[in-house]
């Protein structure tokens, strides 16, 4: 199974694609779309759509996971984030992928055990979980891989051509570990 994770943004959009084969998780694409701030927003959105579509065509993911929009202090930033999410979602719908979304806290908790983790802590865990030799060049790429891993760890299956909002779980992290021993990686 292949899962494409997206950390949306109108300046940098992180892209991470993981593959799960025989209970082994590996990163098959770690990338980001680094856009020029001087480009008009419609041009940036077009590029996000095109790159996402190209990655989907090239890697043929089975599932698509994206970070939900969250409120910034600046409403304009929030609106632009929503637009970036929108074009990535349209690319996924056009590729007939199963789509799920996760909040930043859900993503952090799924890879670090704490929903209040820093981006650096998430990046450290991504490197460890995926046995990467070095950190991805952009932290947004690590975040995108975290979105994909969150989807896998949650057991999300998506809804064909729809959007699945994962239910809030009242289970503890310990309960998750207890119920999913196959998803816990042993340190060497």
pLDDT, residue 77, reads 81
- pLDDT above 70 (res 28): yes
What proportion of the chain, given as a percentage, has pLDDT over 70? 82
pLDDT, residue 34, reads 96
**Contact 81/14 with Cβ under 8 angstroms?**
no
Q: Which has more pLDDT, 168 or 153?
A: 153
Q: How far apart are CA 63 and CA 84, in angstroms?
A: 19
Kindly compute the dihedral angle of the four CA atoms of residues 153, 155, 158, 164, in this order, to the nearest 10 degrees. Answer: -80
CATH classification of the domain holding 101? 3.30.420.10
Is pTM, for the whole model, over 0.75? Answer: yes
Query: Within a domain: residue 155?
Result: yes
Q: What is the number of domains present in the chain? A: 1
Query: Within a domain: residue 53?
Result: yes
The catalytic residues are 7, 67, 140
Which of 66-70, 129-133, 138-142, 147-151 is least confident?
A: 66-70
Domain containing 90: what range? 2-183
Query: Within a domain: residue 79?
Result: yes
């Amino acid at each position: 199974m292949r899962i494409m994770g997206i950390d949306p943004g109108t300046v940098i959009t992180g892209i991470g694609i993981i593959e799960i084969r025989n209970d082994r998780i590996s990163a098959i694409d770690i990338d980001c779309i680094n856009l020029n701030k001087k480009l008009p927003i419609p041009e940036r959105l077009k590029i996000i759509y095109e790159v996402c579509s190209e990655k989907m065509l090239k890697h043929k993911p089975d599932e698509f996971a994206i970070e939900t929009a969250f409120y910034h202090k600046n409403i304009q930033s929030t609106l632009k984030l929503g637009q970036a999410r929108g074009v990535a979602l349209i690319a996924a719908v056009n590729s007939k992928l199963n789509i799920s979304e996760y909040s930043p806290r859900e993503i952090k908790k799924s890879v670090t055990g704490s929903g209040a983790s820093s981006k650096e802590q998430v990046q450290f865990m991504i490197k460890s979980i995926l046995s990467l030799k070095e950190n991805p060049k952009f932290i947004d790429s690590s975040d995108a891989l975290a979105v994909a891993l969150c989807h896998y760890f949650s057991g999300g299956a998506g809804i064909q051509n729809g959007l699945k909002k994962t239910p809030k779980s009242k289970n503890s992290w310990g309960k998750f570990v207890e119920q999913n021993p196959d998803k816990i990686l042993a340190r060497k």
